[in-house]
Amino acid sequence: IEIDKFTPCLRDAKTGEIIETAHSLATAEELKGLKKRGWKFNWSAPSLRSSKIYKLLKKGDTEIQGLVAIEEDGRNSAFHLSLAESAPHNLGTGKQYEGVGGHLFAIAVQKSIDAGYGGFIYFEAKNMELVKHYEEKFGAALVGMPHQYSMVIAEEAAARLVKAYTLN
């Protein structure tokens, strides 16, 4: 996830217009060939077969704004966020929308709440810069094991996160 502004919505980066969102499970067909279209990750990779992959959309539109892969971990009463990525058109200085990353995390938290886990999710940040970002913006906490950048979002932070985003 690229670090962008924490926006409690999806916001047009040029006009500031607030955009209503929706999310649903991505189909295998939608995930094919994304790498060829500029996505950084292979969303059809075998390592994601046990994950549910959700797509973030503008309400009433079919263009994917971001993807998040999560796996239910009943043993730990949480969800593991395996991978999250903003669409290529939402990266860099010319990005179309801000707030995609926060929405993707909010989707994972909401699925944890729906499963009765109180919003608990865990994930691995890529570097210390992202650790700081997730701590400041999402209320995540660094656990530091088994991966040096392992993080959790617990109940209180999870509640704030889903409250900040409109999830349909």
DSSP 98: E
Each residue's pLDDT tens digit, 35-53: 999 999 999 999 999 999 9
Q: Kindly tell me the sign of the dihedral angle through the C-alpha atoms of 40, 44, 49, 54.
A: positive
Read off the pTM.
0.91
Total Cβ atoms within 10 A of residue 115:
16
Each residue's pLDDT tens digit, 59-108: 999 999 999 999 999 999 999 999 999 999 999 889 999 999 999 999 99
CB 106 within 8 A of CB 138: no
